[in-house]
Structure 1
Amino acid sequence: MARTIAFLAYPGFQILDVTGPLAAFEIAGRYARQPYDIRVMALAAGPVASSSGALLMAGPLADPAQVDTLVVAGGEGVNAASAVPALLDYARAVAGHARRVTSVCSGTFLLAAAGLLDGRRVTTHWYRTSSFARRFPQVRLEADRIFVRDGAYWTSAGITAGIDLALALVAEDQGEAIARRTARQLVVPYRRQGGQSQFSTLLEMQGTSSRFGDLLAWVRDNLARPLTVEELAAQAAMSPRNFARAFAAEQGLTPAKAVEQLRLEAARDLVEESPASLDRIAIETGFGDTERMRRAFIRTFGAPPQSIRRSA
């Protein structure tokens, strides 16, 4: 029996939030023993205008008892959609039956407005994390994640991260081989870890202030060094105390934490793309030993280096 994958659209939805994951399920269904019944739904059946103005034809809302996986799209229209009682009631009704409830990008707002995410771990598009945290303090937001699973609830970051989420769902349903084959057809990496950062740590920190831009670039090129506060302060031509205070004020994190983030990003890239041993990677990125690197990976990415390498 086919599993029903139901996409919920509304005026102003982001079209790639639907079409990206939809394509993943469509292609996976060609290879799977158990195919997918893919539906695009809206409160009012017919053409639904996306945020770009492009129209997508939608059917009526499916019987909640028939939905296996609900996928709520994000987009500029999500705030208005989150204030429509009929949509919130429908999301709650589906959640009472569906095996999985998911969202792409800012679709998280609709699920949260329905009260379905209270106390749960979620993510959303990085641009909307501040407003989400203010509006839904009862939800455990993990802002810097590609996708997050909390039981039957899956949420993803912005737009193309919906494809990563769909591939993870396909892997759960059909196995890794079919998910990998689907990724090859889509010509996308199989597959970014849910714990992977939404954006470059270095670019993020450089973007907040140009004062330490050159220093951060130097750190990225010298990760194997001890990189103590004293060494960083000397490189910045400042006293250690003034440097630590100014850096924390401008970057929002301590120098030690910034160094660890840069080490983690560099190590993750090498784990995924390089044939080098984990011992060598730990030394090159300044962790010193694999156990220290392993603990940092689990704390930040939710998985040890070996698991991330296998997935890559």
Structure 2
Amino acid sequence: MVSAAPHLSPRLRVGIIPARRFTLAALANFIDVLRLAADEGDRSRPILCSWRVIAPTLEPVDSSCGLAVQPDEKLGDPARFDYIAVVGGLIGEAQRLHPDVIAYLQRAAAAKVPLIGLCTGAFVLHRAGLMQGYRCCVNWFHRDDFLEEFEGLIPVTDQIFVVDRDRLTCSGGSATAHLAAFLVDRHIGRAAARKSLSIMIVDEALAAERPQPGLPMELNASDPLVKRALLWMQQMPETPLPVSRLADQLGVSRRKLERHFGAALGLTPAEAGRRIRLAQVRALLERGEKSVTEIAAETGFCDVSHLIRVFREAEGVTPEAWRRERSG
């Protein structure tokens, strides 16, 4: 780490604990916003804010992609930080979190240090008994995992992050950059937050309430086959597969796939796919960067006329009218 100027005290100090097999992108996006806000340009000196990767030992911690991160220091006193963030990753690995980390997080909570769960870090905080009575943000992809493990608790899966008093939880991925920008805005200033995101080629800071760019809520399904099919549809919106070819990709018959969709969602695979693509159309319209013609091509509609017809059937208005209503 580059040392901060000795005469300045950081306005924002964050301790970061990577869980076993943590998500590298979540950690990198979060730290990069902090480092770009901490100094002039991208010189990376931790002057206005500081960050330390902490762990029970100084052994490297493997990420889910195999790259390892070397902790800066051992856990120590949690009160020296303004926030402590846990970066989660693979669901099963987080269950094996070091007991010293659990004890450290509990000491931090007792000392009133706000806790952050990045990616599946919310699972870690829940397992430590530190989320009772708090709203909790979980990536839509892990909603069923959360419901299965924490009976009776309903996670927030339609926002990119949630701030509930001294608990901040985030859906992961690029959303961690927006949560970091929220902290920078709060402690250093909006200009610093904007600068960080601009250097990272992110147009603007997104509010916590911004919807996750995932599946529509009505398409949450516990059926493993249906989940695999939905994920395939979401990842390839510009080239939607006919139902028979989708079934081939999944190694099942078309009849079996349709039967599972009917039982899990009350929809055909084609109807579910159309809803996914329309959700992506709405997200692109809200961003305002692309024309309706470009959006039609990116979301698998034959042409702009086809998109307008399907969109009007679902929303009652044309895509352009829908966008004007939300931008006005």
Whether these two folds match at TM > 0.5 is yes
Distance 1:61 1:246, change over 3 A: closer
The letter for the 1-side match of 2:80 is Q
CA deviation after TM superposition for structure 1 residue 57, in Å: 1.0
Give the conservation status (yes or no) of the 8 Å contact 2:140–2:215. no
Measure, in 2, the Cα distance between the counterparts of 1:272 and 1:247: 32
TM (norm. structure 2) is 0.63
* Aligned 1:118-137 pairs, distance under 5 A: 118-137=132-151
The letter for the 2-side match of 1:53 is G
Moved more, 46-55 or 31-40: 31-40
TM (norm. structure 1) is 0.66
Give deviations 1:167-196, integer Å, cap 9, x for gaps.
Answer: 121112222221111101111232233223
Identify the residue that residue 176 of structure 2 maps to in structure 1.
162
Give the secondary structure class of the aligned counterpart of 2:138: coil
Distance 1:246 1:287, change over 3 A: farther
Identify the residue that residue 70 of structure 2 maps to in structure 1.
57
Distance 1:128 1:87, change over 3 A: same
The letter for the 2-side match of 1:93 is R
Give the conservation status (yes or no) of the 8 Å contact 2:135–2:162. yes
Instruction: Say if 2:28 is the partner of 1:19.
Output: yes
Identify the residue that residue 43 of structure 1 maps to in structure 2.
56
2:107 aligns with one of 79, 90, 93: 93
Distance 1:45 1:282, change over 3 A: farther
Distance 1:179 1:134, change over 3 A: same
Measure, in 1, the Cα distance between the counterparts of 2:111 and 2:186: 19
Give the conservation status (yes or no) of the 8 Å contact 1:68–1:98. no
1:10 aligns with one of 16, 19, 26: 19
Distance 1:138 1:248, change over 3 A: closer
CA deviation after TM superposition for structure 1 residue 197, in Å: 2.8
Identify the residue that residue 106 of structure 1 maps to in structure 2.
120
Measure, in 2, the Cα distance between the counterparts of 1:203 and 1:140: 13
1:70 aligns with one of 59, 63, 84: 84
Measure, in 2, the Cα distance between the counterparts of 1:104 and 1:36: 19
Identify the residue that residue 273 of structure 1 maps to in structure 2.
288
Gaps of 5+ in 2: 1-8, 220-225, 238-261, 291-314
CA deviation after TM superposition for structure 1 residue 69, in Å: 0.9
Give the conservation status (yes or no) of the 8 Å contact 1:104–1:156. yes
Give the secondary structure class of the aligned counterpart of 1:12: coil
Distance 1:130 1:288, change over 3 A: closer
Identify the residue that residue 175 of structure 1 maps to in structure 2.
189
Give the secondary structure class of the aligned counterpart of 1:109: helix
- Sequence identity percentage: 22
CA deviation after TM superposition for structure 1 residue 154, in Å: 1.0
Give the conservation status (yes or no) of the 8 Å contact 2:21–2:64. yes
* Aligned 1:213-252 pairs, distance under 5 A: 249-250=266-267
How many residues of Structure 1 are paired with residues of Structure 2 in the alignment?
Answer: 252
Gaps of 5+ in 1: 218-244, 276-280, 294-304
Give the conservation status (yes or no) of the 8 Å contact 2:35–2:49. yes
CA deviation after TM superposition for structure 1 residue 283, in Å: 5.5
CA deviation after TM superposition for structure 1 residue 45, in Å: 1.8
